[in-house]
Structure 1
């Protein structure tokens, strides 16, 4: 399915699903850390793989990426991508103030738990709306150049759709915005099937 075939209604429907999932994620995170956090989804784009590097992020950008597989009635891969400075802000947001000694293992575990909450919230929102069974794998973290991580996701996952859905997330915490992006790489036909179920 070519990206040009997606209608504004279809994109708006996905954005609404993302807003519900993001709202649920923010609620869960707020309850976990005991501080108010909100989450916005300002933009959603569906791009061809080759256009991502030109429009979203250069291949040689250093990033932190957490990968989770979507399994069940539909399959795909989620990649949660942040720049290192945003990762530090998210880790600081998640960890209690009394934890002064932060080592690499703790930081990585914290980021993975955050992404687990976000992806699970998105999958729950989709599952409830379209009545499908979706589950996620255990998150894994990589630190590398954006191009290397994105291409590895394709190679490891065999045949995936040429289009990527990019959901830009903004966490609002203590008056600051912390940017991240969630990339969804679906198996061929998954998005088309989803839109058909939703009737858009």
Structure 2
């Protein structure tokens, strides 16, 4: 992805991530009946080494739900959630965490709801056609999952863009992160689409 975005173009990308992530925070709040707020989204370009040094060790094993997005924006969402957080969505069933099949199903459903809320916010804001795939659960080292996502979206540079939202439930960090991996060149195409519509 190009480094040569104008200030206006960067603001549009930030607004897209911010509005989408804010919609997710609202959805989480409604589902669990607690106040949820989102930190300012992380939108930055890092090397893989910097990602693993500052965000999560490459060798840490995680569960991630992957969803593809297609349309005016193409790419992949990765939702990383500590499975213990699933209890927050079903506090009356503390046995849930002991049933791996139920946890995996709940993680996929959670990702499906949150990513589609994210997408709906972008569709409403920018009036662009978007659709998502069926969620897929993967368990692997964080480094392998993130690297694979970038390779699948044809991004082969050592410098990669990170679009990440982090959430807090009341005063406790909700151990989840939503990453967006855009297909190479798609943000440039999206901005061109916006120019043609006269939005920028």
What RMSD over aligned residues (CA atoms) do the two structures have, in Å? 2.8
Match of 1:106 among 86, 102, 105: 102
Give the structure 2 partner of residue 159 of structure 1.
154
Match of 1:169 in 2: 165
State whether residues 164 and 186 of structure 1, in contact with CA within 8 Å, keep that contact through their aligned partners in structure 2. no
- Structure 2 residue aligned with 1:91: 86
Q: Deviations over 1:103-135 (max 9, x none)?
A: 111211222222222211221222223322111
Q: Tell me whether 1:131 sits opposite 2:127 in the alignment.
A: yes
Once the two structures are superposed, the pairs formed by residues 1-200 of structure 1 within 5 Å of their partners are 1-2=1-2, 4-47=3-46, 52-53=51-52, 55-82=54-81, 86-88=82-84, 90-95=85-90, 97-102=91-96, 103-154=99-150, 157=152, 159-160=154-155, 162=157, 164-196=160-192, 197=194
| Count of residue correspondences | 193
- Tell me, what secondary structure is at the counterpart of 2:57? coil
Structure 1 unaligned spans of 5+ = none
The separation in 2 between residues aligned to 1:110 and 1:35, in whole angstroms, is 19
Shift in alpha-carbon separation, 1:177–1:31, aligned structure 2, 3 A: same
TM-score (norm. length: structure 1): 0.79
TM-score, normalised to structure 2's length? 0.79
Deviation at 1:29, TM superposition (A): 2.6
Deviation at 1:186, TM superposition (A): 1.9
- 8 A contact 1:68–1:138 mirrored in 2: yes
3-state SS in 1 of match to 2:43: strand
Inter-CA distance 9–118: structure 2 relative to 1 (3 Å threshold)? farther
